[in-house]
A and B are shown apart, each in its own frame.
Chain A
Amino acid sequence: MRYAEYVVTGWVLTGAVLGGYRLWLTVRARRAREVLARR
């Protein structure tokens, strides 16, 4: 693939950002539920 470094960087970055955000949301929500349940 021509310009593979740009294409791959772009796609991997997008996946990482969106996937990472989804993960962050899940982790934060779980932590919040734990704190609320504990009290």
Chain B
Amino acid sequence: MTLLPRPVNIVLGWTTLVALGALVVFGLWVAPPDAVQSDAQRLMYLHVPAAWLAYLAFFVTALTSALYLWRRTRATVWDHVAGASAELGVIFTGLTLVLGSLWGRPIWGVWWAWDARLVTTAVLFFLYLGYLALRRIPGDADARAKRSAIAALIAFVDVPIVHFSVSWWRTLHQEGTVFNSELSPEIGGTMAFTLWLGVLAFTLLYVYLLSKRYELSVLQEELEAVELEVAIAERIGEPAPRIDAAAGAVRDTR
């Protein structure tokens, strides 16, 4: 029912909270303002970890999708994790885009720039949305899991192609270089530490939220099965079955 054992979940939750708290302290206060970007630099401590997580979540979705498709490792847990990770991925991708926008505006004066990384992230966002929309279509759980898995893998293969073609396109136009100095080589000391702290805190948060989302996903599947039983019973005219009977019936037919 849970992805990780309960004690691990609890420890994880508190560790995440502490890490996030430390990130707030370091990001907003301890880390000095950048020489060039001043305090706008502080948005990087969120933007970069969010971007990292967007790609990590995507990778996890692809990996678990592959595990589901491969007969020897097929298990519903992979399908649930794939969906949960994708949902988290959408959130982090959205955050990456918005934070990038908020960071770019004071520094470059624009809300958006057609820089390779931002464009690829935008495409990633829509790839995710399509995947989530596909998952939402009701039907046989196994068929749904399989086609979602294939869609996830296709999207995953596509991302490097998109990144390559877009970055080549932008370097040809010579405009990308200005926007690409988000990770300036002079970043060091407290600033570098805060960045890594951000990556750590967000990764912990990702695992924690993934675990919670997985639980919800499993509960939703149970709920669907029960509602199906109820609907069928109502159609036939029999009284609605009780939960344990319904769960038992569902398990028997599998």
Contact = CB atoms under 8 A, between A and B. Distances in A.
A touching B, CB within 8 angstroms: yes
B28 A36 contact: no
- Chain A interface secondary structure, helix, strand, loop or mixed? helix
B80 interface: no
B246 A32 contact: no
A29 B211 CA distance: 12
Contacts of A36: 219, 222-223, 226, 243
- The size bracket of the interface on A is 20 to 34
Contact of B43 (A7, A32, A37): A7
Interface in B50-66: 50
Interface residues of B, number: 37
A21 B92 CA distance: 11
Given A25-B213, A28-B216, A32-B216, A4 B39 contact: yes
A39 B216 contact: no
Interface stretch (B71-79, B98-106, B146-154): B98-106
A2 B24 contact: no
Consensus secondary structure, chain B interface = helix
Interface string A6-38: 110111011001100110011011001101110
A13 B95 CA distance: 9
A18 B92 CA distance: 9
Nearest to B29: A1
B38 interface: yes
B19 interface: no
A33 to B, nearest CB: 7
B103 A32 contact: no
B37 to A, nearest CB: 8
A14 B46 CA distance: 8
Contacts of A37: 243
Contact of A6 (B24, B103, B223): B103
5 contacts: A6-B103, A10-B99, A13-B95, A28-B216, A29-B212
